[in-house]
Structure 1
Amino acid sequence: MRGPGVRAALALMTVMLLAGCAALPEVDRGDAAQRAFEERSERLAAIETWRLVARLGLDTEREYWSAQLNWRVQEGTHILDLSGPMGRGGGRLTLAEGQPARLVTRDGEHHSARDPDALAQRLTGDAIPVSGMVYWVRGLPDPARPFEHEVDAEGRPIRIRQAGWEIEYGEYEEFDGESMPVRMELQRDELTLRAVIRQWQMGDGSA
């Protein structure tokens, strides 16, 4: 059970994360919106190099924590620098296709697991969907799993339901010619993960 101080801090952080969040756009179930969604998905999935900077907040039955995240992707390798959660001191999480997920904490500890979800579960005790986030953070469904979705007139997801998670997108902004999520919330059972993305870079930035 959270004490008054923890609850107050949680309330403050929630306000910070959601401050200024615009009302969700109207769902468009027309064929044109669905085609726009498919075209957007294909276009974003083809971008192999990207980077984001975000603030995360995770609320579970037991506790609340927040973290800063710098996530960059190049040639199929994902490098996530976190300050906060994994091992509670932060560290660098490296994901590469066909290889175990690896974390090096700021204290120099090394951890690995068969996949990023198993590693996050072991270190935090919570089922954090890192593998799904690889897609969801860009407003894409994981192509390997069934999903349901709702989109706006521009084909941008308003909600994606996949693997027991509901992902709600509260706001988009344009970066490098693409409309990218800047506020999102993921929910499953008693776990809520919020992300406020302050910066996107699509491509290698050399153009």
Structure 2
Amino acid sequence: MKQFKRFFRYAGALSLMGALVACAPTLKQTAQDDGTYSRAGRFALNVWDKTIDRNKEAVQGGFLWLDTTQRLDLDLRNPLGSTLARVSVTQGKATLVHADGSRVSAETPDALVAEVLGSEIPVAGLRYWLKGIVAPVAAEQEQRDAQGNLGSFTQAGWKVTLSDYDHKGPRKLGMVRNETLQTITVRLVINE
């Protein structure tokens, strides 16, 4: 039971880093002419505790992402495919719904992460990073690959690496946040 609570806590953070989402099982994983953007794949989140010099949290599973002009939805699943958490973000509201139906809401994804994790972490950039672009705030150390695609940068405290591009953006994303007491590492691999 304790492991599931930790999963919800960090899966919620990942969801919110996605800036984020609650997807229905029938969502299409295609880019649409109406501005809809969707992706599906796998994620892994690790939290390295510097005080004990070992991994204190490790979560992995699948995700389904849908971004429209009005709303972001993210469905997080365990490795067996069961939905564990859903996040929905609309103008002025971000909501995390756990598999048991309990909810946590805030005005923004960043505020929701602060409530779920107990610390402020700016996470709204993932909405842009999935598309291979930086969020509309200052970024540092931008590097591009031979094709001109964004390869790496630092933004909002995260070192981000993007690679293996298809027509919708990077298929591999790595994100590292190095804090005083811990290092958070998130990896996304896009399947669709």
TM normalised by structure 1 equals 0.62
Provide, for residues 12-61 of structure 1, a one-character-per-residue CA deviation record: whole Å limited to 9, x for no partner.
xxxxxxxxxxxxxxxxxxxxxxxxxxxxxxxx9x9731100021111102
Distance change (3 Å), C-alpha of 1:128 and 1:51? farther
Partner of 1:118: 111
Question: Among residues 67, 73, 76, which one is paired with 1:73 in the alignment?
Answer: 67
Partner of 1:106: 99
Match of 2:127, SS state, is helix
State the Cα distance separating 1:126 from its structure 2 match. 7.1
Matched, 1:193 2:180: no
Q: Which has the higher helix share?
A: 1
Distance change (3 Å), C-alpha of 1:83 and 1:128? farther
Provide, for residues 36-93 of structure 1, a one-character-per-residue CA deviation record: whole Å limited to 9, x for no partner.
xxxxxxxx9x973110002111110221111311010123310111125xxxx72221
State the Cα distance separating 1:145 from its structure 2 match. 3.3
Partner of 2:156: 163
Deviates more, 1:106-115 or 1:120-129: 120-129
Distance change (3 Å), C-alpha of 1:90 and 1:122? farther
Match of 2:191, SS state, is strand
What CA distance in whole angstroms lies between the structure 2 residues aligned with 1:127 and 1:55?
25
Deviates more, 1:127-136 or 1:54-63: 127-136
Distance change (3 Å), C-alpha of 1:126 and 1:192? farther
Distance change (3 Å), C-alpha of 1:56 and 1:129? farther
Distance change (3 Å), C-alpha of 1:118 and 1:90? farther
Percent identity of equivalent pairs: 29
Partner of 2:53: none
Q: Which has the higher strand share?
A: 2
> Letter of the aligned partner of 1:55 in structure 2?
R
What CA distance in whole angstroms lies between the structure 2 residues aligned with 1:66 and 1:164?
22
> Letter of the aligned partner of 1:67 in structure 2?
G
What CA distance in whole angstroms lies between the structure 1 residues aligned with 2:158 and 2:123?
12
Question: Among residues 142, 145, 148, which one is paired with 2:138 in the alignment?
Answer: 145
* Structure 2 portions without partners, runs of 5+: 1-30, 49-55
Distance change (3 Å), C-alpha of 1:68 and 1:136? same
> Letter of the aligned partner of 2:97 in structure 1?
V
Contact 2:139 2:153 in 1 (8 A): no
TM normalised by structure 2 equals 0.67
Contact 1:48 1:76 in 2 (8 A): no
Aligned Cα RMSD in Å?
Answer: 2.5
State the Cα distance separating 1:121 from its structure 2 match. 3.9
Q: Work out the number of aligned pairs and report it.
A: 146
Alignment of 1:125-140 (within 5 A): 130-140=123-133
